[in-house]
Amino acid sequence: MNQNNDFISPDTLKIGIAQIAPVWLDRERTTQKIISFIRRAADEACKLVVFGEALLPGYPFWVERTDGARFNDPVQKEIHAHYMKNAVRIEAGHLSTICETAAEKQIAVIMGCIEIPMDRGGHSLYCTLVYIDAEGRIQTTHRKLMPTYEERLTWSPGDGHGLRVNSLGDFTVGGLNCWENWMPLARTALYAQGEDLHVALWPGNVRNTEDITRFIAMESRSFVISAGGLMRNSDIPEHTPHVEKIRGNTSESELVADGGSCIAGPDGHWVVPPVAGEETLITAVIDHKLVRMERQNFDPAGHYARPDVIRMTVDRTRQNILRIKD
């Protein structure tokens, strides 16, 4: 699916959204699928490709389908253990093939993963947004500040370490996970660092993206990419623990998450309206001139800000309970 791809100028950037389903809770097979879409986006001349929240290895859809709040339940423990086994340990090189592909194809990648980091003991899960530059280097790992509702049964709260932006051509790129995008101060932390291309990752659904994407674009006077995933019962492998319980009494083709990926311009108008129900690569060319035009009358962290009256503090320390003194 292509939008506005006829003209490229020095101010412009071609971007892609890979709206895909994972091979659910299977890290290795989902990694291969992600790599195939990175290659496809690069072959279509994209300089950035974005994937949905928690895509590698998948969003915890089982929680609401299997009585996930039942305490000390063997079913929940077994599924959670399987999730941990397939989570991403960056220190172990689980993203190395994705980084190598980004470097080979000279394309930046933003993706959502479930991280199981050693700096927090190696046994807790974090919903993490990863920014990989076109040289294949991991520049940002942002752990979701506050998991939403039932997500708290399987994910841990993150920290401010990843509230950072990165340069990409004329653009300054930042991003947040899912309902973090509703947090005014988290958005402001990125605006104040010069963000003018905001990336919002979602597990997928038009109901999440159709209002907030345009709202953030109008508030920030930035381009906003909302990248959602897909999820069907058929995407659940047979070897998944308690697969029948997770699928429930629903058809193989039923959409658990319908995508909803879209792009809004800095004036709030759609560049690409929400796309639902299909696995696809969405591409568009965005023009930095439009950011500069819209900042003429409103810049939320610049000429329209009053730091003498209102300001904020961001702690970007990577949280850890251990301080070793030898």
**Residues 107-128 pLDDT 10s:** 999 999 999 999 999 999 999 9
Predicted TM-score (pTM) of this structure = 0.95
Residue 109 lies in a domain: yes
Domain count for the chain: 1
Residue 306 lies in a domain: no
Mean pLDDT of the 218-242 span: 96
- Tokens in use for 187? 């958005």
Residue 312 lies in a domain: no
Q: Is 144 a catalytic residue?
A: yes
CATH number at residue 144: 3.60.110.10
Q: Distance between terminal CA atoms of the chain?
A: 57
Q: What is the model's pLDDT at position 8?
A: 55
Residue 326 lies in a domain: no
**pLDDT over 60 at 5, yes or no:** no
Mean pLDDT of the 126-147 span: 98
Q: Active-site residue among 178, 180, 262, 294? A: 178
Q: Is 113 a catalytic residue?
A: no
Q: Which domain holds residue 126?
A: 2-294
Residues in the chain: 326
Residue 191 lies in a domain: yes
Mean pLDDT of the 236-251 span: 89
Q: Active-site residue among 14, 33, 47, 144? A: 144
Residue 35 lies in a domain: yes
Angle at 114 between CA 112 and CA 117, to 5 degrees: 120
Return d(Cα 181, Cα 142) in angstroms, integer.
Answer: 13
Residue 42 lies in a domain: yes
Q: What is the model's pLDDT at position 281?
A: 98
Residue 74, classified by CB atoms within 10 Å of its CB into exposed (0-12), middle (13-18) or buried (19+), is: exposed
On average, the pLDDT of the chain sits at: 95
Q: What is the model's pLDDT at position 149?
A: 96
Residue 302 lies in a domain: no
Phi-psi region of 323 (alpha: psi -120 to 50; beta: other; left: phi over 0): beta
Q: Active-site residue among 33, 46, 53, 151? A: 53
Question: Higher model confidence: residue 4 or residue 86?
Answer: 86
**pLDDT over 60 at 322, yes or no:** yes
Q: Is 244 a catalytic residue?
A: no
pLDDT band for 248, please (50, 70, 90 cuts). Answer: confident
